[in-house]
Amino acid sequence: VKATRLVAGLVVVALLATVLFAALQLVGNDSDGPLVGGADSQAPAPTPSAQPGSTDPPTPELAEFYSQQLEWSPCRDGFECSTLTVPVDYQDPSGDTIELALLKDPADHPDDRVGSLVVNPGGPGAPGTSYAENSSFAFRDVIRERFDIIGFDPRGTGDSDPVDCLSDSDLDAYVARDPDPDSPEEGQEFEQGNRALLQGCVANSDALVGHVSTVEAARDMDVLRAALGESQLTYFGASYGTKLGSTYADLFPDKVGRLVLDGAVDPSIGSRQLNVEQAAGFEVALRSYVQACVDQGDCFLGDSLDEGLGTIQGLIADVDEQSLPTSLGGRELAVGNAFYGLVAPLYNRDYWPLLDQALQQALDGDGTTLLRLSDLYSSRADDGTYTDNSAEAILAINCLDDPYSIPADQVPDQIPEFEKASPTFGRVFAWSLTNCEGVHTRASEPVPVVDAPGAAPIVVVGTTRDPATPYQWAVHLADQLQSGVLITRDGDGHTGYNAGNDCVDEAVEDYLIDGTVPPDGLDC
């Protein structure tokens, strides 16, 4: 889920897994946690080849989709690509269809192959093909050796008939705008910007814009499972990918194989509570970052936690008054870019040195690195184009799943509670409550109450100081799923797997490879 639903923004994508991979090449990993052994119970094994019954459709009308066979061809420097045909509207499967983009990173040790691992990086809106393409950053070797990593671009995203809402220049302005309007007039302009994006989604995209819900994407995953020849789905979902995975489990509990939901979204709460709790999560992460700087001594932000927070808050206020120059072709750092440049490195402790550099530079009057981080967050390339439509798709999907919104003139009443949760980010998250105000389509299916009765064990991973998906969301999701098993990572950053904690990594890997279900409540 991206912060504030990218203007709205990443949550539990969220995850920045496909956005900040470059940063992983510059800095190291987190400290290790203690190793804790797993339980003796077993999860269903993935199927290395098509099994009888794996392509049986849930209804006869879907038989043609469930019986399709994938044709893979070389693509993207050593990977394999294909497409999957699915109906635009599952309520009318004889109607229009779309092609979903797929990418496979084949198992490095094919003789020891366990099966296919379907992955989703979050967002919503982040392309899963890029996640699979960058699997060497996202997954440790032991997973890549034993599994074909399968990424798909969910409907309306990436190369799967992407929704288009704004021109590149208009999207630049949308991301750069003040996420915390300072006057009623600015508030109305902010609301009009949201309305323009949503109207643009409808005007510039085809009928699919009304069928990009999480429920429909989950139904697509079951068609993908069948096309892969798997009798049960083996899946790793991060951030929003946990919402997609838990929705799948509720719709198809008998098809659940080994599911890992990392950086969990709580599907039981609405947009308002989600925003309050996510604001608090980013505040916790920022305080942890500043405290680490202070503890190291001679912190450039100040000599105490409060002084350091005040320095950052003052910088954002100054940029709101006057944009900073950059060395990026005459572009300036506006306050919206400064906000995203600040929150992006909070997703992973490994990115904190980048935030040090960006803030020190900005305090000296140069906004270059903060603007680069903002561009990475919104998938903006140096030439001014956007490498994917995640900054647009996130709002289209979120507002289809939950169209809750309030008008701009009601936001001031919400601000006290949001500021209590997050003195630094609270006002921004309060204003995000207007994101779905205006023109939007309605979902063709209701959002289910997730509990997945009868499903095999589902592993949920939560990190104690996760900014985008607060730890309590993982606790709640594991409780809601009848077969939920919770792993807790004590640490900083968004998501817990492959973050330098051997306890988490080995528990997840033993579960995916051997089916060993970790003990519920494993504390790493």
The residues annotated as belonging to the active site are 239, 466, 494
> Closest Cα partner for 413 from 433, 398, 437?
433
CB 110 within 8 A of CB 138: no
Amino acid code (one letter) for 218: A
CB 335 within 8 A of CB 320: yes
Indicate the DSSP class of residue 157: S
Q: Which residues contact 146 (CB under 8 A, 6 or more apart)?
A: 107, 109, 112, 113, 114, 513
Q: Which tokens go with 337?
A: 């870019």
Helix/strand/coil percent split, the chain, to 5: 45, 15, 40
Cis before 124 (ω within 30):
yes
- Segment (H or E) for 490: strand 484-492
Q: Which tokens go with 263?
A: 């950086």
> Closest Cα partner for 57 from 93, 97, 95, 96?
93
CB 335 within 8 A of CB 316: yes
Q: Which tokens go with 258?
A: 């080994």
Q: Which residues contact 237 (CB under 8 A, 6 or more apart)?
A: 119, 120, 122, 243, 244, 245, 259, 260, 261, 262
